Amino acid sequence: MLSLYRLPGNIKDEKVLKIYRRDFFVLFKKVLFFLVLSILPALLFYWIAVNFDEFIFQGAISYSLSIIFTSSYYIFIWLFFFFSFIDYYLDVWIITNERIIDIQQKGFFSRIISEQRLYRIQDVTSEVHGFFPTVFKYGNVYVQTAGSKQRFFFNEIPNPENVRDTIIKLIERHKRIHNK
Amino acid sequence: MSFPLYYILILYLSFLIVWAVFSFVAFYHMLKYGFRNFTTFFIIIIYILISVFLLMLSFRYLGEIDWQVNVAIFDNIFNNDFPYQ
């Protein structure tokens, strides 16, 4: 398990300052999607009962098939929601006084952990783009580092401007301490 | 052609086995890569409780069905007794 006291590639005297996940609204959208999926069988059965013979579910085969279909559907919907939640829950950005750690869970069999030391960071950009991100104040933060490596990417995190300010302040403090 | 209704139940059980395997994979990921905190354990417990509820509800309804009934399909497919003859 991931412990805040034993981060990947632990550095001496390192302190965890902030932990970010995607904004809560992103999770809310997932919940809403699965709620819509969960009422679909009820609507389907209602539509069949209204448009076809009301005794259609009373036969031995049709009744057993409808029970099995409904049960399988809900059990798998619940499982997919759990998968979706894990995808949300295991994507984490950790800011420490020494570095930024990006942990991304891509499906079940791919996990990417990358880090950038604060002294390598050259530019931090925040972006809020779209109606819902503007209303609910979430967006992306791009961290550009020295070298040819790709930009670091905080995806759909709450208050991206504050995150950008935090990183910039940390970089300045880090430079002051190490330039003394 | 006919077959006992419990053949459908065997299909359903194989479905449940696949579901159980994926659930264990999900637990493994939560426990291995999630933070060691209350939230991780709480989420797993909620998942188990709701799963047990769904399975118990399913088994209650499935228990009411007589699975020994034979199901006949395609019985009249080669029926030549056309009504106009």
> In which band, very low, low, confident or very high, does the pLDDT at B85 lie, cut at 50, 70 and 90?
very low
CB atoms within 10 A of CB B33: 18
The pair of structure tokens assigned to A13 is: 């005297």
What mean pLDDT do residues A135-162 have?
86
For residues A166 and A124, give the distance between their C-alpha atoms in angstroms, rounded to a whole number.
10
Any chain B CB within 8 A of the CB of A61?
A: yes
**Least CB–CB distance from A78: residue in B15, B32, B51:** B51
Indicate whether A32 and A82 sit together in one domain.
Answer: yes
Q: What are the pLDDT digits (tens) for B52-82? A: 999 999 999 999 888 888 877 666 555 555 5
Q: What angle do CA A128, A133, A137 make, to 5 degrees?
A: 80
Beta-carbon separation of A60 and B29 below 8 A: no
Helices A60-90, B6-33: inter-axial angle, 10-degree rounding: 10
Judge whether A105 lies within some domain. no
Q: What are the pLDDT digits (tens) for B25-62? A: 999 888 888 887 888 899 999 999 999 999 999 999 99
Indicate whether A130 and A173 sit together in one domain.
Answer: yes
Please report where in the chains the tokens 């036969």 appear, as a residue. A59
Indicate whether A79 and A121 sit together in one domain.
Answer: no
pLDDT score, position A161 = 94
What mean pLDDT do residues A107-118 have?
83
Q: What percent of chain A has pLDDT over 90?
A: 45
Domain stop point among A86, A105, A134: A86
pLDDT above 70 for B9: yes
For residues A30 and A32, give the distance between their C-alpha atoms in angstroms, rounded to a whole number.
5
Any chain B CB within 8 A of the CB of A169?
A: no
Mean pLDDT of chain A: 86
pLDDT above 90 for A133: yes
pLDDT above 90 for A122: no
Number of domains making up chain A: 2
Beta-carbon separation of A105 and B43 below 8 A: no
Judge whether A7 lies within some domain. no
Judge whether A134 lies within some domain. yes
Judge whether A32 lies within some domain. yes
**Least CB–CB distance from B61: residue in A67, A105, A108:** A67
Indicate whether A81 and A119 sit together in one domain.
Answer: no
Indicate whether A36 and A73 sit together in one domain.
Answer: yes
Count of alpha carbons within 13 angstroms of residue A6, beta-carbon side: 6
pLDDT score, position A22 = 93
Mutate to test the interface with B, among A6, A68, A92 (most CBs of B within 10 A): A68
Strand A111-117 and strand A99-105: the pairing is antiparallel
Judge whether A149 lies within some domain. yes
Domain stop point among A86, A102, A136: A86
Judge whether A68 lies within some domain. yes
Residues from chain A that touch B34, judged by Cβ atoms under 8 A, are: 1-2, 89-90
Judge whether A146 lies within some domain. yes
Beta-carbon separation of A75 and B26 below 8 A: no
A128-157 burial, b if ≥16 CB within 10 A, otherwise e?
A: eeeeebeebebbbbbbbbeeeeeebebbbb
Residue A77's domain comprises 28-86
Beta-carbon separation of A71 and B36 below 8 A: no
Indicate whether A69 and A118 sit together in one domain.
Answer: no
**Least CB–CB distance from A63: residue in B33, B43, B65:** B65
Q: What are the pLDDT digits (tens) for A54-107? A: 666 667 778 888 899 999 999 999 999 999 999 999 899 999 988 999 888 887
Helical H segments across A12-123, by residue range: 24-51, 60-90
Evaluate whether B22 touches A78 at the Cβ level (below 8 Å): no
- State the pTM of this model: 0.82
Domain stop point among A67, A86, A105: A86
CB atoms within 10 A of CB A29: 12
pLDDT above 90 for A29: yes
Judge whether A2 lies within some domain. no
